[in-house]
Amino acid sequence: MGKRKTQRKNATMLDSDDDNSSVSSSSTMHSDRMSVSGTEEVELNKDSLLDEAVDNLYEKRGSTREKALASIIEAFNSNLQHEFVEKKFATLLHRCLNSLKKGSSKEISLASRTVGLLALTIGPGDKAREILEESITPVSQAFKSGYESSKIASLLECLAIITFVGGIEPEETEKSMQIMWQLVHPKLGSNVITVKASAVVITAVVSAWSFLLTTMDRWSLSPKLWLESITYLSSLLDKDDRSVRIAAGEALEVIFEMGSLEKFATEAEGSNNGSVSEGNKSKEGLLHIQGLRAKILNQVRDLSVEAGGKGSAKKDLNYQRSLFKDVLEFLQDGYCPETSMKIGGESLQTSTWSQLIQSNFLRRFLGGGFAKHMQENEFLQDVFGFTPKRNLVGGEHVSNNLKRMYKSPNSVINKARTQHLNKQRMLSEGKKIGHFAVNVGDEDS
């Protein structure tokens, strides 16, 4: 497929050095004088605050647990808490799952976000699989405990993240996608109570579903499921809410990139070798697929030139036009948009729809912590093929803080290094004095 550079007005340039410059400029000289022991005290203080927050998750008062979860989220967003997670993994996970089962809507939202951050911090492996296996039932049950939109959206993000990190088999990912789909497209039955989903929930479902779809092989999902999905997404393009239309457009981007409609057309044409009735059915299926594609093409074309006045705030209108212009160009000419984001002096680039959907979803989930994670989270670096800019001291990669501590004249590291050099100089001077003394004695003799 071709590639085309594109610029979107809502693209964020994430440069952590620039972001932090205004905050840190006034304290630069002070931080340069900070000793390693002082830094260790700060880290110990942070750890003790996190320990206290985890302990507070046992409290009976819901507001206390909510406050504790909020502080844990803030800590996980600002830094990768690897050491803390190693010590408190099981405790934190099970307290969060308890909040999912028994907490208020606000507590459930905070707990689900914490579980997602826990999975991203740990990265793929046995613990990430444990998070997925232990969480999927409580998350599914929490969907049914109430229909508050913000709570449902947080649960959807959590399910998407823990599946993205911990899911290995396609069946695991498909199971999570089906749980999401049931919220807006339930299978009717005698014991199923249908509730009309809000625009916020529909947007969250489609976004989370699309995010997981980027990890799937198109051959893993059944043609029936694909057609149901595409037909439903096409219907969403006619909705009044702009956020719904945008989410549906992004989902269709991924589906078209995977070549799913072409797959159905090939299968329909290939099944013409059977009986007359089967041949007629396959022709009908092929005509349906071709008609669906033509319908979506027209919808996309209309949305790419929409005049406004329909749907949500006008600030989203330009993004919608840009998005559907890109989709239209991809459908007609096969060009994928290329995007670039600046993170800490390096560029995070995307050249496929799937990469763009993944980066957008993770940016929304991590918020201000996205740049930090991209610079330090090896799992996300592997996902996007991103190599962060690092500082070199003594031939080793170290952070800016460590570099400042190393150079600071008051740091323990630098003091030890100075003492070592002074000792070496003294030994050297002693050797020289001994050498001169021997020479003087020789001359006297």
d(CA 327, CA 322): 9
What 3-state DSSP class applies to 409? coil
Name the residue with higher pLDDT: 360 or 187. Answer: 360
pTM of the model: 0.76
Percent of the chain at pLDDT above 70? 66
The amino acid present at 234, given as its one-letter code, is S
**Helical H runs in 223-351?**
223-236, 242-258, 260-270, 276-304, 317-333
Q: Give the lowest-confidence range in 25-34, 275-284, 350-359.
A: 25-34
The SS3 of residue 346 is strand
Mean pLDDT of the 228-238 span: 92
The answer to whether 316 and 243 are in contact (CB under 8 A) is yes
* Residue 328 pLDDT exceeds 70: yes
**Res. 337: pLDDT tops 60:** yes
Domain boundaries, the chain: 44-168
Q: What is the pLDDT of residues 371-407, one digit of tens each?
A: 999 999 999 999 999 998 874 444 444 444 444 443 4
User: Which own/partner contact pairs does 93-98 have at CB distance under 8 Å and 24+ positions apart?
Assistant: 93/118, 93/130, 93/131, 93/134, 93/135, 94/134, 95/54, 95/57, 95/58, 96/57, 96/69, 97/134, 97/135, 97/138, 98/57
Please report which confidence band the pLDDT of residue 146 belongs to, taking 50, 70 and 90 as the band edges: confident
113-142 average pLDDT score: 96
The answer to whether residue 331 scores a pLDDT higher than 70 is yes
Q: Is the pLDDT of residue 278 over 70?
A: no
- What does the pLDDT look like over 243-271, one tens digit per residue? 999 999 999 999 888 875 655 555 545 55
The residue that leads in pLDDT, 437 or 311, is 311
For residue range 167-191, what is the model confidence (pLDDT) as tens digits?
A: 988 899 999 999 999 999 776 544 4
- Length of the chain counted residue by residue: 445
Confidence at residue 190, expressed as pLDDT on a 0 to 100 scale: 40
Query: Does 426 score more than 60 pLDDT?
Result: no
Mapping DSSP to helix (H, G, I), strand (E, B) and coil, where does residue 8 land? coil
What local confidence, expressed as pLDDT, does residue 147 receive? 82
Mean pLDDT over 55-77 rounds to 95
Look at residue 412 and tell me whether its pLDDT is greater than 50.
Answer: no
Across the chain, mean pLDDT equals 78
